Structure 1
Amino acid sequence: MDAKSPKVLPPLRIVICPWLAFGHMLPYLELAERLASRGHRVSYVSTPRNLARLPPRRHAVDLVALQLPRVEGLPEGAESTNDVPGDRLKPLWEAFDGLAAPFTEFLSAACAGDEVSRPDWILVDTFHHWAPAVAAAHRVPCAMLQPSAATIAAWAFGARDRAELGAASIFEQLTTVEEPPAGMPRYEWDGDAALFTPVGTSGMWIARRITLTLEGCAITAMRSCPEWELHAFSHAAALLGKPLVPLGLLPPSPDGGRGAGMNRDDATVRWLDAQPPKSVVYVALGSEVPLRVELVHDRAGSWARARRDTIPLGAEEA
């Protein structure tokens, strides 16, 4: 090898653990595949039913199934927020806390093997307050993944003058105040009220879980980038008080996570292919927003009437 040639580093073994919601699992799967495409060995940890519902993968990612403990009040087969009404998530949080034991067993087995199987990094979601301690016990560095910049950015804007206090102090302060910080919209503040309600067997509120996860991690990573959120990203970095790695927006692959030509015979795809150009409006309501059929029809009818009333006859062809 030429002395001036750059040193080729060996591939990493990376473990990714998303929260039990598809709004977290899908972008983290995209991250896992991008890492795998660069030659790294990636283990993607979730529950059996969640793993079975993931889209086909384009690159080799090890899927690690951890059995979700059964708790009272959790419907049979429910393993994600998509399976439980939004106001009845407490049993899911309790079951999630119970994942600490099987995760410990998984990591212990991985670290007991050779250097190839031993993880170099563990990337956990914001709520995995039990994971950093397990990682530290096995001397594996841990990073906290923030799937969206929205919440952190809102707090960062509101607390940018107090950023030197650190994220933990600010989260704890927010539990004792009744008004949103300066710069945070009221709707954002009201929507975040659940962050300060105790959930799960630990009795901790969500904000406390985030604090503990952050404290136990060496670095943080965010599904954002300075080019997309210039000011918010810099404020979030100051607020978190630890190195912040931008992951980019992690959009789905152009084929939607499917192999070339897959699902071409699907009825929905055939219908879309048959429509004239620019005749279909796509509305994304998030990964887990179920709508009743009558509500879908009502919205579609309202849009059609508005389009008819605002566009003069023949204007589209003009």
Structure 2
Amino acid sequence: MENSSSSEEALHVVMFPYFAFGHISPFVQLSNRLCAHGVKVSFLSAPGNISRIKSTLKLTPDAQIIPLQIPQVEGLPPGLESTSDMTPAMAELLKQAIDLMQPHITTLLSQLKPHFVFFDFAQHWLPKLASQLGIKTLRFSVFATISDAYIMVPARQHNSSSTSTSTTIDDLMRPPNGFPVAHNIALKEFEARDFSYVFMRFHGNPSVYERVLDCLNSCTAIVNKSCMEMEGPYVDFLRTQFQKPVLLTGPLVPEPPSGELDHKWVHWLGQFPAKSVIYCSFGSETFLNQDQIKELALGLELTGLPFFLVLNFPANTNPQTELARALPDGFMERIQNKGVVHTGWVQQQLILAHQSVGCYVFHSGYSSVIEGLVSDCQLVLLPLKGDQYLNSKLVAGVEDMRTGVEVKRREESGGFGREDVMEAVKTVMVDVDKKPGVSIRANQSKWRQFLLNREIQDKFIADLVQALQGLKSLC
């Protein structure tokens, strides 16, 4: 690949994601693409995360990983260095520990002397610190732009009836002033209740909203994992709100999976016709409760289609015990020839890419949306927390991508039943194009072609590097 900065001084950037793999992975993906365009990358993370980062970061002379020691905080056990091993209370203490890293980060940046630091939501103190060293800062959001546009903007504060730390459920059910009205986005009561966490303070520390707003107000430029084709109105709204550059990386389409699928899964999937199997998974840090697992499992059974259900459980629980409590009596016996229930890690990309898999039921994580589309799966969305609710509206919205269907939920509780799961799957697998004027399958095909167009996706990074070269020279 031609070096994008061959005629200018090579850029050097530091990557500093939050210590959660849902955050680390997009930073790694962006690092790999920047390195391919001649950008030098120094990647910061805790020692416990480095072996996993090494498995995906393409280590070259232009890419290095630098370990960071997490300061001790009472209540945060030593050695826990990723949120995947933490309770929610520990994750709040992790933010406190990150705040204590400022002297160490100052020393490191003084030694590295990068042009830019790409940083995450928790390090709201970084822009001021870096500015004193003559280093520019880029707040990189690993979420869809719609999430920042709906929640993390000054207008959210201005049209609230209360302070940022006590924003009400009613406030959150309404979009902020100036939000693109044509897109008719609003949160249900249970979704707004979940988002209220963003405005809470713990241990006297800033709320997530206060951290993010500080990041966005103080950074040199905002960088989003998106593109105008997918989220143009929300990008424009963000630019209006913060009056500074909003740069786009594109959706950071994952590389094709390497290696071979485990023989037992090849054999099991190979029993079924092309595009007939439902693959269902909620990532490593999104957990269903017992009632949700029961209704989901029975809903998949009701479809009459073969399915592969992956369930994970919080740290410090026994997955097999939890599974036995949640699954209905006799369920495993009934699905013996047509269903798999699995706990723990699986080769997700390779499973999604298998010719027998045709439907993906999942939590609407943004990276998973892209993964499902690239793998040519019909999307059934079952968001369970935070940004997933807004991702689902983006993907299923008639005015937006309209390339999937969300499982129907109760307005107040967010509950769903087995019939709701069955109906959503039936809509994308059987009745997908029966509604006049709305072709989910055609939209899915269109977005898949867009995401797999390497020339288009590579241009997003080339344009980003060019914009950084322009920003670098500004005082």
| TM superposition score category, shorter chain reference | 0.7 to 0.9
Q: What residue in structure 2 maps to residue 190 of structure 1?
A: 193
Q: Tell me the alpha carbon deviations over residues 197-218 of structure 1, each in whole angstroms, 9 at most, x when there is no partner.
A: 2235x62111111122223211
For residues 63 and 137 of structure 1, what CA distance do their matches in structure 2 show? Answer: 24
CA distance in 1, matches of 2:75, 2:141: 29
Partner of residue 35, structure 1 = 34
Structure 2 residue matching 1:233: 3-state secondary structure: helix
Match of 2:469 in 1: none
CA distance in 2, matches of 1:7, 1:40: 10
- Once the two structures are superposed, the pairs formed by residues 1-318 of structure 1 within 5 Å of their partners are 8-54=7-53, 55-58=55-58, 60=60, 61-110=63-112, 118-148=113-143, 149-155=145-151, 174-175=164-165, 177-178=167-168, 179-180=170-171, 182-183=174-175, 184-185=186-187, 186-199=189-202, 203-255=205-257, 260=258, 262=259, 264=260, 266=262, 270-271=266-267, 274-276=270-272, 277-290=274-287, 299-307=296-304
1:104: how far off? 1.6
**Aligned amino acid, residue 224 of structure 2:** M
Deviation at 1:82, TM superposition (A): 1.1
Q: Is the 8 A contact 1:129 1:212 kept in 2?
A: yes
Give the letter aligned to residue 51 of structure 1. I
- Separation in structure 2 between the aligned mates of residue 299 and residue 252 of structure 1, nearest angstrom: 28
CA distance in 1, matches of 2:192, 2:242: 19
Contact 1:44 1:64 in 2 (8 A): yes
CA gap of 1:286–1:232, structure 2 versus 1, over 3 A, is farther
Worse-superposed segment, 290-299 or 97-106: 290-299
Distance 2:77 2:6 in 1: 52
Q: Distance in 1 between matches of 2:159 and 2:121?
A: 16
1:44 and 1:176 mapped to 2: Cα distance? 36
Which residue of structure 1 lines up, in the alignment, with residue 361 of structure 2? none
Contact residue 121 and residue 215 of structure 2 kept, 8 A: yes
Deviation, structure 1 residue 284: 4.1
CA shift, 1:123, in A, is 1.0
Amino acid at match of 2:214: L
Deviations 1:12-53 (A, max 9, x none): 111111111111111111000000111111111111112222
Q: How far apart are 1:228 and its partner, in Å?
A: 0.3
Aligned residues: 286
Amino acid at match of 2:148: I
- Say whether the 8 Å CA contact 2:164–2:210 is kept in structure 1: no
Q: Give the C-alpha shift of residue 302 in structure 1.
A: 3.4
Look up the equivalent residue of 1:281 and give its one-letter code. Answer: I
Provide closer, same or farther for how the CA distance between residues 105 and 269 of structure 1 changes in structure 2, counting only shifts above 3 A: farther
* 1:245 maps to amino acid: L
Contact 1:23 1:286 in 2 (8 A): no
Deviations 1:145-176 (A, max 9, x none): 111124212137xx7xx86xxx8867995445
Greater shift in the superposed pair: 292-301 or 221-230: 292-301
Opposite residue 155 of structure 1, the aligned amino acid is I
Name which of structure 1's ranges 76-85 and 278-287 shifts more when overlaid on structure 2. Answer: 278-287
Give the Cα–Cα distance (whole angstroms) in 2 for the partners of residues 95 and 27 of structure 1: 22
Helix, strand or coil: the match of 1:229?
Answer: helix
What CA distance in whole angstroms lies between the structure 1 residues aligned with 2:286 and 2:264?
Answer: 19
1:267, distance to aligned residue in structure 2 (A) = 5.5
RMSD: 3.3
Contact 1:15/1:119 (<8 A) preserved = yes
Q: 1:168 to 1:16 in 2, by over 3 A?
A: farther
Summarize the Cα distance change of 1:19–1:139 in structure 2 as closer, same or farther, 3 Å threshold: same
- Give the Å deviation of 1:275: 4.8
Range moving further from structure 2, 66-75 or 168-177: 168-177
Rounded to whole Å, the distance in 2 between the matches of 1:107 and 1:275 is: 55
- Aligned-partner Cα distance in 1 for 2:148–2:261: 42
1:68/1:301 Cα in 2 relative to 1: closer, same or farther (>3 Å)? Answer: same
Unaligned segments of structure 1, at least 5 residues: 1-5, 111-117
Contact residue 36 and residue 59 of structure 1 kept, 8 A: no
Using the size of structure 1 for normalisation, the TM-score is 0.77
Query: Highest relative contact order (Cα 8 Å, sep 6+), 1 or 2?
Result: 1
Aligned partners of 1:101, 1:76: CA distance in 2, in Å?
20
Q: Indicate conservation of the 8 Å contact 1:153/1:232, yes or no.
A: yes
Partner of 2:223, secondary structure, is strand
Distance in 2 of aligned mates of 1:89 and 1:28 = 20
Could you tell me whether the CA contact under 8 Å between 1:27 and 1:252 is conserved in 2? no
Whole-angstrom CA distance in 1 between matches of 2:14 and 2:223: 14
